[in-house]
Amino acid sequence: MRQRSRSWRGAGLTIGLVPTMGFFHQGHLSLMDQAIKLSQRVVVSLFVNPTQFGPSEDLDKYPRNEDRDIRLAEERGVHCLFMPRPEDIYTPGHQTWIEVTEVSKGLCGRSRPGHFRGVATIVAKLFNIVEPDMAVFGEKDFQQLQIIRTMVRDLNFPVKIYGHPIVREDDGLAMSSRNTYLSPEERSQALCLNQAVGLARELVLEGCRQRSEIEKKVRDLIASYPLARVDYIFIGDPETLKEPETVPSPALIALAVHIGSTRLIDNGLIP
């Protein structure tokens, strides 16, 4: 992989990276489209990273379809699909980790301890292997995007990071590989996430600035869906991921909700 990248760079070509865990949907494909617009050679990594899954999480059942992913990447015009094995990435005796401490504390970091340590480490490894000029990440996991931006700044990676807006289904559900876990009834109730983001935005734009008041109304909305259970609701600063009692401007509303046994996330920026 590194030889291929260096041969492109030697020819004066810019390289873009799209890190993924595969099972491509339109959201992944839109990241590839963005990278193709911004760089001359695009590498898509496909690696279900075991170190970002907790002991009781869905590593073993995480959806996979490598043949389909290869076809979709090729049709999209991707120049290289990088598909390492876990033993290639985490060699025996691996003991080095990257932690981005402050922005990883809340939101998903609170309920998924160790998750972002695994994310930061695998992304750093991919940057060292592929040596891209830029990388594209989806904004659906906004905390992850901020963690990567912070890591790049703090460790002086020569990689420009681009965020790409959330891609949604026609009814507003944010696209996710985990949506395939949902039964038809769960799928309809999962719309509460986007509705909750919309409610928070509407309340702020109408002049409500008390975080606790907005959070209560968002929780009440989600509680009206019998299959939904809130993991967290965040309303705060999109840069620092802190939550002052008075809603800042701009603000981020982000949430994680269990729909049945499936954990989904969504977010939106409020001007």
pLDDT in tens, 141-156: 999 999 999 999 999 9
Output the CA torsion 223→166→175→158 (10° steps).
-120
Instruction: Please report, for residues 105, 135, 208, 271, the alpha-carbon distance to residue 132 in angstroms, rounded to integers and kept in the order given.
Output: 28, 7, 43, 32
pLDDT value for 271? 85
pLDDT value for 202? 97
How far, in Å, CA of 37 to CA of 23, rounded? 22
How far, in Å, CA of 8 to CA of 161, rounded? 20
Task: State the average pLDDT over residues 230-253.
Answer: 96
Mean pLDDT of the residues in the chain: 97
Residues involved in catalysis = 28
Place of tokens 């000029």: 133
* pLDDT tens column, 208-239: 999 999 999 999 999 999 999 999 999 999 99
pLDDT value for 218? 98
pLDDT value for 167? 97
Task: State the average pLDDT over residues 128-150.
Answer: 98
* pLDDT tens column, 89-128: 999 999 999 999 999 999 999 999 999 999 999 999 999 9
The CATH architecture that domain 177-270 belongs to is 2-Layer Sandwich (3.30)
Q: What are the residue ranges spanned by the domains of the chain?
A: 2-164, 177-270
pLDDT value for 87? 96
The CATH architecture that domain 2-164 belongs to is 3-Layer(aba) Sandwich (3.40)
* pLDDT tens column, 55-85: 989 999 999 999 999 999 999 999 999 999 9
Instruction: Name the band, by pLDDT with cuts 50, 70 and 90, for residue 171.
Output: very high
Residues 6+ apart with CB under 8 A from 164: 30, 31, 34, 136, 137, 138, 139
pLDDT value for 32? 98
pLDDT value for 75? 98
Phi, psi for 8 (deg, rounded to 5): -65, -45
* pLDDT tens column, 11-42: 999 999 999 999 999 999 999 999 999 999 99
